[in-house]
Amino acid sequence: MLATLARVATLRRTGLLSGPGSRRELWTGRPQSDTDNMKPLEGVKILDLTRVLAGPFATMNLGDLGAEVIKVERPGAGDDTRTWGPPFVGTESTYFLSVNRNKKLAAICDVFVENYVPGKLSALGLGYADIDRIAPHVVYCSITGYGQTGPLCQRAGYDAVASAVSGLMHITGPEDGDPVRPGVAMTDLATGLYACGAIMAGLIQRYKTGKGLFIDCNLLSSQVACLTQVAANYLIARKEAKRWGTAHGSIVPYQAFKTKDGYLVVGAGNNLQFATLCKIMNVPELIDDCKYKTNHLRVQNRKELIRILSARFEEAMTSEWLHRFEGSGIPYGPINNMKNVFAEPQVLHNGLVMEMKHPTVGKISVPGPAVRYSKFKMSEARPPPLLGQHTTYILKEVLRYDDKAIGLILQIMILKALRENPSSRLNILSRSSVFPHTAHH
């Protein structure tokens, strides 16, 4: 697929592929209309060559802000996450469905996002230097495991491995237990958010200078940067980090407590909150106890204090403790399972369940955007596309290729796919469009 893109780019440069849409149109960053619902990234085209999570999460968020995201996948199989299941909805994994809404294909773009091992795209004529020569306006974002250079740069980047190398896994898990992988791919997600912000900064830079730039995002750097105070404790005081389970190394009490029927997380970040907590739990004698009068003392006497509080929490149901803490000013909340998360009134109020109609399985729901804006609504949710779903539309209606050019592109794709996997012949020829997958925005 990538080699085909390189050939198409070469044909375009030589003029063998042309059409009314072959002229490059730059996005200026200026308002395109006076409508109140103008989205900040309307008019921005993003070519997305990423797979799995960090890259797709970044481009999905950009798509939510109005960008036209163009996702290119390997013919026949597509993104690895299409097969990461169970669970599946029809033939699509819920993993793929969760981070690939609002995407489609085009060859002329403002932003180019990829997550290949450094050097892979350059070998195919699609590296930053190649793109910069023919499209100097492009903001080119490369997402890798460990960076563009250095001793680990050629290693494949996966969340759990980067989580381990970066130290996140070392500080995650029970105090006296083994390291634990976080329940979601936080290193991938953090990298995706860094990439999203970096791309928007790149677009602003281009608006100021008229030129694109190269952005280097990687899992290792993103996660090390997110170690924050844990890293600072080591760098400044050479204090080695440890696992605390649900507790906090510098604040006591601030952790999960077992109740009669579940768990409740409660924190007391200052002396006033601690006093309020003691009153609610009917242990007022702890307020003036010389061992607990300050947070520093509470940290020093953590085990005894937690033992006392834990015994009290186990005396009542979670619902009763929630009632007692309501309006107290204490930070608190239950540990919810997924059923309770999506029944939580505040989650529903915040619009965090997004429904969309999938072309083969009907209505599906995925997590909605985390941020809302006063002057525009987030882009309407559209499902991730089927593999190759919008190829002909993009080539003909967006890129304005004529039938001869489209035929040449498809011929290149079919021949390459057959060489790589002869058994895919019937699958390839049965598709109305076999170019890399695209999706309407």
Q: Which residues are designated catalytic?
A: 188
- Determine contact, residues 379/64, Cβ cutoff 8 Å: yes
- The Cβ of residue 40 has, within 10 Å, a number of other Cβ atoms equal to 16
C-alpha 256/C-alpha 180 separation (Å) is 17
176 to 179, 180, 244, 390: CA distances (angstroms): 9, 12, 8, 53
- Determine contact, residues 257/330, Cβ cutoff 8 Å: no
C-alpha 56/C-alpha 103 separation (Å) is 10
Q: Find how far residue 107's CA is from the centre of its chain.
A: 24
Report the alpha-carbon angle 80-405-1, nearest 5: 20
Residue appearing with tokens 């044909």: 11
C-alpha 270/C-alpha 366 separation (Å) is 38
Q: Find how far residue 187's CA is from the centre of its chain.
A: 9
Residue 207, phi then psi, degrees to nearest 5: -60, -35
DSSP 262: S
The structure tokens listed for 324 are: 């007692």
DSSP 56: H
DSSP 287: T
Residue appearing with tokens 């002329």: 108
Is 254 in a helix, a strand, or coil?
A: strand
Q: DSSP states of 70-119 as a string?
A: EE---TTT-SGGGG--SSEETTEEHHHHHS--SB---SS-SEEEE-PPTT
C-alpha 192/C-alpha 54 separation (Å) is 4
Which among 221, 149, 213 has a CA at the least distance from the CA of 190?
221
The structure tokens listed for 100 are: 């690939």
322 to 12, 175, 274, 333: CA distances (angstroms): 64, 27, 17, 7
Q: Dmax of the chain from CA atoms?
A: 85
DSSP H or E stretch at residue 334: strand 332-334
